């Protein structure tokens, strides 16, 4: 199995929720396992409501949170054992995050190009500013922007959609093989949402980048994902091919989720279904 891109083996995360004298414990993620193939890029979606543990799981995959039990292997080696800085840098060059709120992901007091240029310098060894700008521009073009457009701008001077695209471009600079996107479009306007969702598709097809896509929106999940896992209160209740699972879910919770999705057929055909 060592050729798998990412292996999540029985990962559990327990938070203690008591004061000084201890208190109840809370299992945010409970015995989750799945693997991502290395040979073919795919979009692997984690679906669940708030409190289902999907964000904690994504934080563990990004090595921002250490699991209480189980292991996460990236290309065969356990990421929790990355001690040396160079090992961590190599990991980060291959696995990059996209966060939910672009306005929070960028420091409001510094210009956006600082993150692009630093990523270029630190991961791709760009020595001169021109070289770093060229790399940044190259990545920005992949998301439909250009360096001149966003250079020396503060985050609040760009729209949510533009800023999220800059975030994606920044993640693309080191040429990662895995992007972990936590609800990347929930804060973006509807008209721009499709542009970014389609972008993930092109990243998979043209750049061969695998994507872990975290969302509570089943409809977008259906549109974009290859494989899917449904999480409830930290546990995986159902998993498999995205279209198959969403078209006829087996687990009662997945069925409940699907029936709660607001469909348009009510207004297109009959009266409002209760």
Partner 1 sequence: MLRIIRDLFRYNLEFALGSILTGIVVGLAALSFFSPYNPLDTYLLPPDVPPSWTYPFGTTSRGQDTFWTLTFAMRNTLLFGFSVAILSRILSLLIGLISGYVGGFTDRVLMSINDTFIVIPLFPLLVLFYFVMRDYMSWALLALVMAFLGWAYDARLIRSIMMSLKEREFTRTSIFSGMSMREIVLREHLPYVLPVVFSTTLNNINWSIGLEVTLSVLGFTNLDTPTVGTMIFWANQHSAMVSGVWWWILFPTLFVTITFIGLFLLAVSMNEYIDPRSRLGRMGGGIA
Partner 2 sequence: MRSYALYVAKRLVQFVLVVFIGISLTFFITHLTPIDPVEQMIASMTAFGDTSPEAILRMREALRELYGVEGNLVDQYVTYWGRILTLDFGPSLSAFPTPVATLIARALPWTIGLLFTCTMLAWLLGNVLGGLAGYYRKSRTLKLLGVAAMGFHPIPYYIIAFVLLIVFGYIWPVLPISGGSAQNVSQAFSVEYAGSVLRHAILPALSIILVSIGGWFMGMRALVSNIISEDYVVYAELGGVPRKRILSFYVMRNALMPQITGLAMSLGAIFNGAIIVEQVFSYPGLGRLLIGAVYSADYSLVLGVTAISIIAVSASVFLIDILYPVFDPRVQLR
Partner 3 sequence: MTVPMPQTETSPVLSVERLRAYYQMKYFGIDREVRAVDDITLHVNRNEIYGLAGESSSGKTSFIKTIAAANRPPLNVVGGSVKFSFLDRDIHHLDRDAVAAVRWKHLSYIMQGSMSVLNPVRRIKHSFFDFAFVHIGRPRPEFWDIVATHLKRLHLDPSILEAYPHELSGGMRQRVTIALATICRPEFIIADEPTTALDVVVQKSVLGMIRNVQREMQSSMLFVTHDMAVHANIADRLGIMYAGRLVEEAPTRAIFTTPRHPYTAHLIESLPRIGDSGLKKALGGSPPNLSAPPPGCRFHPRCPLAGEICRREVPALTSLAPGHRVACFAASPAVTAAASVESTEAAR
Using rule CB under 8 A, residue 220 touches partner 3: yes
Site string for partner 2, 15-54 (x = CB under 8 A): ----xxx---------------------------------
Are 186 and 215 within 8 A, CB to CB? yes
- Grouping H, G, I as helix, E, B as strand and the rest as coil, residue 135 is helix
78 alpha carbon, distance to own chain's centre: 20
Of 233-262, which residues contact partner 3 (CB under 8 A)?
A: 243, 246-247, 256-262
Among 17, 18, 64, 219, binds partner 1 (CB under 8 A): 64
C-alpha to C-alpha distance for 137 and 256, rounded to whole angstroms: 45
Least separation in angstroms between residue 15's CB and partner 2 is 16
C-alpha to C-alpha distance for 83 and 140, rounded to whole angstroms: 32
Among 65, 163, 171, 236, binds partner 1 (CB under 8 A): 171
Pick from 258, 271, 217: nearest CA to 45: 217
Pick from 263, 213, 203, 259: nearest CA to 41: 203
Are 169 and 152 within 8 A, CB to CB? no
Pick from 139, 181, 188: nearest CA to 162: 188
Pick from 33, 17, 36, 34: nearest CA to 25: 17
Nearer to partner 1, 163 or 246 (CB): 163
The angle at the Cα of 201, spanning 178 to 59, to the nearest 5 degrees, equals 35
Using rule CB under 8 A, residue 20 touches partner 3: no
Exposure class string for 100-117: b at 16+ Cβ within 10 A, else e: bbbeebbeeeebbbebbb
Site string for partner 3, 126-165 (x = CB under 8 A): ---------------------------------xxxx---
Among 14, 37, 99, 138, binds partner 1 (CB under 8 A): 99
Nearer to partner 3, 9 or 217 (CB): 217
Using rule CB under 8 A, residue 119 touches partner 1: yes
Q: Report what 19 binds from partner 1, partner 3, partner 2, none; CB cut-off 5-8 Å by kind.
A: partner 2
Q: Report what 262 binds from partner 3, partner 2, partner 1, none; CB cut-off 5-8 Å by kind.
A: partner 3
Query: In which residue are the tokens 């930290």 written?
Result: 234
Which residues contribute to the site for partner 1 (CB under 8 A)? 20, 62, 64, 85, 89, 92, 96-97, 99, 101, 104-110, 114-115, 118-119, 121-123, 154, 156-157, 167, 170-171
Which residues contribute to the site for partner 2 (CB under 8 A)? 19-21
Which residues contribute to the site for partner 3 (CB under 8 A)? 49-50, 159-162, 189-195, 197-198, 216-220, 222-224, 243, 246-247, 256-264, 266-268, 272, 274
């Amino acid at each position: 199995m060592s050729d798998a891109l990412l292996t999540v083996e029985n990962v559990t995360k327990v938070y203690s929720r008591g004061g000084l004298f201890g208190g109840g414990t809370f299992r945010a993620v409970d015995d989750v396992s799945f693997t991502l193939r290395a040979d073919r890029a795919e979009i692997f979606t984690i679906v669940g409501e708030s409190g289902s543990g999907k964000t904690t799981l994504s934080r563990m995959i990004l090595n921002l949170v250490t699991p209480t039990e189980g292991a996460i292997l990236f290309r065969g080696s356990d990421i929790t054992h990355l001690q040396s800085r160079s090992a961590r840098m190599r990991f980060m060059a291959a696995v990059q995050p996209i966060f939910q709120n672009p306005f929070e992901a960028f420091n409001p007091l510094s210009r956006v190009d600082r993150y692009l240029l630093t990523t270029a310098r630190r991961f791709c060894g760009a020595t001169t500013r021109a070289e770093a700008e060229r790399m940044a521009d190259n990545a920005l073009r992949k998301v439909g922007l250009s360096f001149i457009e966003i250079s020396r701008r503060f985050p609040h001077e760009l729209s949510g959609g533009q800023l999220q695209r800059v975030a994606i471009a920044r993640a693309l600079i080191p040429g990662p093989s895995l992007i972990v996107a936590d609800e990347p479009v929930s804060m973006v306007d509807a008209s721009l949402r499709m542009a970014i969702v389609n972008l993930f598709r092109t990243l998979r097809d043209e750049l061969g980048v695998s994507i872990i896509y975290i969302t509570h929106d089943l409809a977008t999940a259906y549109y974009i994902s290859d494989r899917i896992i449904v999480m409830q209160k930290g546990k995986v209740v159902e998993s498999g091919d995205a279209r198959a699972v969403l078209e006829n879910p087996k687990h009662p919770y997945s069925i409940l989720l699907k029936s709660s999705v607001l469909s348009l057929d009510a207004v297109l055909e009959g009266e409002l279904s209760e």
